[in-house]
Amino acid sequence: MIPTLEAYDISPYSGFLPAEPPLGRLPQGYYQPWEEVIDKLGPYIMGKRIREVINELPQLSINKLENEREMRRAYQVLTFLAHAYIWCGEPVEKLPSQIAVPCVNVSKILGLPPIATYASLCLWNFKKIDDRREFSLDNLTTINTFTGSIDESWFYLVSVYFEKEGSFSLKAGLDALNNAQNGQMKEAVQNLQLLAESIDMLGSILMRMEEMCDPHIFYFRIRPFLAGWKNMGSVGLEKGVYYGDEKTPRSYAGGSNAQSSLIQFFDIILGVCHHATGDLTADNSFLNEMREYMPKKHREFLEALEPYTFTIRDFVKSQHDEELTLAYDACLAMLKSFRDKHIQIVTRFVVLQAKKVNKMGSGTTLRSGLARKKQGEEKGTGGTSLLPFLKQCRDETGNAAAGSWGKRILTDGMLRLKYSKSNGVNED
């Protein structure tokens, strides 16, 4: 049976965001030592005191947390503190037990790794400024940040708003899947058209990133705190991080947009397959791994949807209907365009900023983690080779096209190539 949103803690109105607003503070006095530190996280980082302050925290149990909403808040607080501890200045390879033990315990209950994820940074890190007004970017603020900057808040909130508006895509996609399952061609056309329009709108939301988030500030001030401790030997964490008194280090990827369930939903519903970067014979293990960084029920939703990966595509191909084929290929075109926009953002915010590192003197700005890497292939906060991974995901999107014209345009860029040659444009 095709999965329903409600069965997996997904709202038809807010998508993968929680239907009930995230908790802004744990209510128990017992947990106020955590809350008091995160209240002053920015100043403690700026004064290079965060490790000293965390080392002085009492050892608290998670046994007084009463519901999942409180568990999510505790997870958010503890993962923010963990990243601040590891990445404030020269990275250290051990988390103190005051943070490590409760973080590991609450993560087990939530089915998440004990590290900052897209869920703790974005999905559970927002609130309305004015409850009487609508849910919009100009009426949202973050609950917590590392730097206290508008730029950091905006970086998270664009993703929050993206997820909220993505609820329309979820409904249109599932409706189209049900149409395909039941042989309803006219309705499938309508819902695929809605899905294409919705994905196009999400691309426009993504491009708002630079309105209030400066690429230089992001790369040198914010991004260092988002890195994980996997594949980070080049910046000081050879083995990963030891949690408390554990004898074996743990290795986890940092927060990444690949942990957005909405992005993987699009690929499944449209039959888009991804392979390992540079190896078209193997599945993309990184994308599969990123599911382990999603809230448990959202991960299970994607798993329940996987048996229907090619349902819409096969239905479209079987009907030989021009309007249906065009509607489906339009969805792929919009998804490929979205990935193009993502690459543009990454180029501005990461690749171009990384080129500045060698030109900057050692004392120009405080840098840690990924921001101090001076040469070699640029890595994402999730630990991947950044541009090769994103470009391959984009190019693979067109492979699912149903029509011959759509496949030619989406995979070969034939019209663009012909236009360039006829006008004497050098593609290089």
Do 143 and 127 contact (CB within 8 A), yes or no? yes
Instruction: Count Cα atoms within 13 angstroms, Cβ side, for 396.
Output: 23
Nearest Cα neighbor of 60 from 96, 110, 25 is 96
In whole angstroms, give the CA distance from residue 275 to residue 293: 19
Do 342 and 351 contact (CB within 8 A), yes or no? no
Is 78 exposed, middle or buried (CB count within 10 Å of its CB: 0-12, 13-18, 19+)?
Answer: buried
How distant is the alpha carbon of residue 338 from its chain centre? 14
342 known member of a binding site = yes
Structure tokens at 39: 């209240």
Annotated binding site for heme b: 342
Binding residue ranges: 342
